[in-house]
Structure 1
Amino acid sequence: MTQHRNFYIGGAWVAPRDGRDCPVHDPSTEEVVTTISLGGQADTDAAVAAAQAAFLDWSQRPVADRLALFGRIAAAYEARSDDMARAISTEMGAPIDWARGPQVGAGAAHIRDAAAALEACVFEAPLGGTPGTLIRREPVGVCALITPWNWPMNQITLKVLPALAAGCTMVLKPSEVAPLSALVFAEIMDEAGTPPGVFNMLNGDGAGVGTQLSAHPGIDMVSFTGSSRAGRAISRAAAETLKRVALELGGKGANIIFDDAPDRAIQMGARRCFNNTGQSCNAPTRMLVSRARYDSAVEIAVQAAETTSVGPASEPGRHIGPLVSAAQWDKVQGLIETGIAEGARLVAGGPGRPEGLNRGWFARPTVFADVTNDMTIAREEIFGPVLSIIAYDDEDDAIRIANDTPYGLTNYVQTEDPARLRRVGRALRSGMVEMNAKGFGPGFPFGGMKQSGHGREGGAFGLEEFLEVKAISGWPAG
């Protein structure tokens, strides 16, 4: 069994100063695959000090230097893509083909998008109509980047690359549940020749290193992706030093199926819910269907669930893998039981493991019908392969139900009526609205409203999160 106890601080792999062991499990087998160290206060202080020491030099580097580093990172990332896919598959249960495709591919795309945003950014320009006044965009400072386990490279690259582009230095704390991909990423940053102290990586849990970074006086900004509960805790810890906080939190996306949408929209919506074993904050977990079409939609969703294969992450194919941990499995099972107890009609899946899988944290693709929007399974983020189907009366009712949630990350609309697309797209209270399965363009702003957080990631929008605006008067002409 390989050990991965060291941290990447100041451009070197260093032994923990105040660490304690933490096992890492393969969720397909429940076996321990390695042991990492969870850092303590001394490790946090060392990582922050390294980032502080590197800030002045890196913040003054010209754009050409930063772009050159981006090119080296992209090349190293591509060269290590198979290592990265295997790490993600092992640590969080993504089937290997899914890990090689969307999981690793998301990181590569964000590296490209961040480079494009850096190249296009105007860091210094005169204020229009005001001679002698200069506007500068400068890095916010030393950043704590706290990332989740469900889309490891998606979230790490969405934070690290724009922070680098802005001229910030940073301490990355990946999820202790799935740290292997972050270790590979730290090796990539080292191979690419990132200047010492600009990028630091420290393992730890939320209560330990996560809280220490959030409250640390040497940290200027915290960018966090995870649960709304953890986001509130980070905000409280950061409030004492009034540092900037960017939060990408949970979701409970509504997928509105209008009567003119094709049957395949229902099937695709169900499969989107089950993708990544339901462990995506932007999953369309509430399917809203008109009463006239309700029964047929339930049948289609049931068929989608029953034809979704479940299997070990190491096997190739288009199946879904396990949930990430025993704790996550227990949570999902409890919420399925709650749905049954509150009167939702279980039409596919249900509690327990799929047939033939007696070991590993596998869950059955599950569909509930006759769900009302006040039920727990319609209110809480389950983070498992569980779809709730809700009936609506008309367009206004569908919008009301979709917006009746504490979350506001992503909603979905399926209709062939252009006027309806415009009306509903404007009316939905979420940071993103995907219509008719049309993907967003490169560099689009990812983020939400309400308890889904604040701030945006991706492209120029993500770069802006790491910049401060400075006004200077009396700037000499020329």
Structure 2
Amino acid sequence: MSDRHLTTVAGVEVDTRHFIGGRRVASAGTFPDHSPIDGALLGDIARGGAAEAEAAVAAAKAAFPAWAATSRAERARILHAVADGVEKRLEDLAQVETHDNGALLRSHRRGVMPRVAHNFRFFADWLLSLDHEDFETRGHTNHVSWDPAGPCVLITPWNAPLMLATWKVAPALAAGDTVVLKPAEWSPLTASLLADIAAEAGLPDGVLNVVQGYGAEIGDALTSHPDVRRISFTGSVPTARRIAASAAANLTPLSLELGGKSPLLVFADADLDLAVDLAVEQYDNAGQVCLAATRFLVEASVAEEFTRRFTERAARLVQGDPRDEATDIGPNIHPRQLEKIDGFVQRAVEAGARAVIGGHRGDGQCYAPTLLTDVAQGSEIVQEEVFGPVLTLQTFADEAEAVALANDTRFGLAATVATGSRERAERVTAQLVAGTVWVNCFFVRDLQAPFGGARHSGVGREGGNWSFDFYCDVKNTVTAPKGWDRKGSVEHG
């Protein structure tokens, strides 16, 4: 292996080539991958295009019949072996991902990478229990089964690269599908390590392929390929539109988890300390979380006290190097993202918004945690996803106004409600347009629950049976109660 295809990140060697059909494959061109921590070049990554897309889909197609025919028990065993490999390399994965996307090292060690292993274990175990009770129709027996669909293209984002990739990879592999994974070009390194881990775990060649590059070059070639049977994408609405148009010619089924502009509704009867805790949590991962409740909607009678407590708590947050255990907020992923965040804030201030805290860049690629008030419901800062540590605060007079404000965007990914009344929680949550609603909590995510968004926040649901419904062709077989002759053929008449 040529050293020029290896890069070392935090003492961990990472292959910068594609992984196709069980082999490492170089490309004629590369693209640079820089760390958001200090701008250092982490590596020159193989830059794939149509040729690499064709090779990866061909490898997935060739591997599909054997993998689809592999018993559930054997598929589950291999997925558990992948999870074992993740756990053995947990520190390597945590270090590499922190350098690659700037998220907190302590979070990667304690939560994110253990969750990566759990993703594989959960879907391996769910596969073994996947069943639907037979039912009768006028004496005929209905039997539901899940048939593997074929090669899948999975396109994943940069904000939680390996966790969000394995939310897709694990159920697709469990379902008996083969996979072409394209990670985001701003954070590709842990996907390469995953390919190594999967191969070492015994996953057959071609079952998992990893290709790197830009969406316009390799992404379009993947999503328009006629041999692809499923496409799952997490990312922005404009990219989703392009993917949907690309897939339309082949009627390829899509699962799209897109942006959010989620509300946090704080009612006067809420535990305000709990509400503030939930509010400060929205700065997690430097605000680069699609589910984040970036719009605070606070009952007017407690808005002043809520704001006072929030600013006191936010002032204690430590922003800086994500490798430091004391750091609460790290850098944003890329200079372009930093420019985008600052542009949103400066336009909002010019339009009359007031920065209660923040409103400016920090050191390096950090953006200061920001809370904006005096914002109009129809303004850009309230309606569009910023994807940075920027929150807004508006007030409401009653439940009806709270719900109206909460639902008044084109998104519908999530919502969070803080209230001391069970009855109010039931009334309000029933009216909110969202794929997930949290009451007096945030980011409690169980893989057996459906996950996805409404409106422009997405299409489809994944998790538990919903994942297998998407990654499989669900079949119903109806059998007559009698009519078999002694030779085993069906009698007619």
- TM-score relative to the length of structure 1: 0.94
**Gap change, CA 1:183 and 1:473, over 3 Å in 2:** same
Is the 2:48–2:218 Cα contact (8 Å) retained in structure 1? yes
Please, which of 335, 348, 358 is the counterpart of residue 349 of structure 1? 358
Q: Distance in 2 between matches of 1:184 and 1:271?
A: 33
- Between the aligned partners of 1:270 and 1:127, the Cα distance in structure 2 is 51
- Corresponding position: 1:284 with 2:286: no
Q: Which amino acid aligns with 1:24?
A: D
CA distance in 1: counterparts of 2:301 and 2:391, whole angstroms: 20
- SS at structure 2 position matched to 1:116: helix
SS of 1:109's equivalent in the other structure is helix
Counterpart residue number, 2:122: 113
| Aligned 1:397-412 pairs, distance under 5 A | 397-412=401-416
2:321–2:327 contact (8 Å) kept in structure 1: no
Q: Match for 1:32: what amino acid?
A: L
Deviation at 1:7, TM superposition (A): 1.1
For residues 97-116 of structure 1, the C-alpha deviation after alignment (integer angstroms, 9 at most, x for no partner) is 12212321331232232123
Structure 2 CA distance for partners of 1:183 and 1:298, relative to 1, 3 Å: same
The answer to whether 1:83 aligns with 2:92 is yes
Name the SS for the 2:197 alignment partner: helix
Task: Tell me, yes or no, if structure 1 residue 424 matches structure 2 residue 428.
Answer: yes
Task: Tell me if the contact between 1:176 and 1:205 (Cα under 8 Å) persists in the aligned partners.
Answer: yes
| Aligned AA (2:102) | G
Cα distance in 2 between the residues matched to 1:50 and 1:181: 21
Question: 1:93: Cα distance to partner?
Answer: 0.2
Taking the aligned partners of 1:412 and 1:302, their CA distance within structure 2 comes to 19
How far apart, in 1, do the equivalents of 2:464 and 2:313 lie?
34
The match for 2:450 is 445
Q: How far off its partner does 1:338 sit?
A: 1.3
3-state DSSP of counterpart to 1:468: strand
Structure 2 CA distance for aligned equivalents of residues 402 and 188 of structure 1: 43
Q: 2:114, 2:269 → 1: CA distance? A: 33
Aligned residue for 2:140, secondary structure, equals coil
Q: Which range is displaced more, 279-288 or 120-129? A: 120-129
Match of 1:461 in 2: 466
Amino acid at match of 1:6: R
The partner residue of 1:363 within 367, 377, 383 is: 367
1:208-245 deviations in Å (ceiling 9; x for gaps): 11111111111111100001111111101111111001
Cα contact 2:295–2:382 (8 A) shared by 1 = yes
2:276 to 245, 267, 273: 267
- Offset of residue 474 of structure 1: 5.0
Which of 4, 8, 17 is the equivalent residue of 2:19? 8
Deviation at residue 463 of structure 1 after TM alignment: 2.3
- Whether the aligned pair in 1 keeps the contact of 2:116 and 2:162 (CA below 8 Å) is yes
Aligned ranges for residues 314-329 of structure 1 at < 5 Å? 314-329=323-338
CA contact (8 A) 1:250 1:407 kept: yes
Q: What amino acid does structure 2 have at the position aligned with 1:365?
A: P
Distance 2:226 2:47 in 1: 21
Could you tell me which residue of structure 2 aligns to residue 186 of structure 1? 195
Residue 443 (structure 1) shift: 2.1
Aligned length: 471
- 1:46 matched to 2:55? The reply is yes
Larger radius of gyration: 2
Deviations 1:170-216 (A, max 9, x none): 10000110011111111111111101111111111111111111111
Q: 1:47 to 1:258 in 2, by over 3 A?
A: same
**CA 127–22 in structure 1, closer or farther in 2 if over 3 Å, else same:** farther
The question of 1:212 aligning with 2:221 is answered yes
5+ residue gaps, structure 2, are: 1-6, 9-13, 489-493
**Overall identity of the aligned pairs, in %:** 36
The 5 Å alignment of 1:6-85 reads 6-16=17-27, 19-85=28-94
- Cα distance in structure 1, aligned partners of 2:425 and 2:74: 44
Q: CA deviation at 1:457?
A: 2.4
The amino acid of 1:464's aligned partner reads D
Amino acid corresponding to residue 476 of structure 2 in structure 1: A
Alignment check: 8 A CA contact 1:231 1:249 kept = yes
| Superposed counterparts of 1:112-191, under 5 Å | 112-122=121-131, 130-131=139-140, 133-191=142-200
| Matching of residue 340 in structure 1 with residue 345 in structure 2 | no
CA 1:129–1:106: 2 relative to 1, 3 Å: farther
**C-alpha RMSD over aligned residues:** 1.9
**Structure 1: segments with no counterpart, 5+ residues:** none
Q: 299-308 vs 73-82, which deviates more?
A: 299-308
Show the counterpart of 1:433: 437
Give the secondary structure class of the aligned counterpart of 1:33.
Answer: strand
2:382 counterpart residue number? 378
Question: Contact 1:9 / 1:47 at 8 angstroms: preserved in 2?
Answer: yes
2:316 equivalent to 1:307: yes
Distance in 2 of aligned mates of 1:200 and 1:288:
44
Give the distance between the partners of 2:382 and 2:193, measured in 1 at CA: 37
Residue 442 of structure 1 and its aligned partner are, at CA, apart by: 4.6
| Residue 41 of structure 1, CA deviation | 0.8
SS of equivalent to 1:112: helix
Compute the displacement of 1:130 (Å): 4.9
Residue by residue over 1:272-323, the C-alpha shift from the partner in whole angstroms, topping out at 9 and shown as x without a partner, is 2100000000001001001111112222222233221111122222421100
Instruction: Tell me, yes or no, if the aligned pair for 2:132 and 2:143 is still in contact at 8 Å.
Output: no
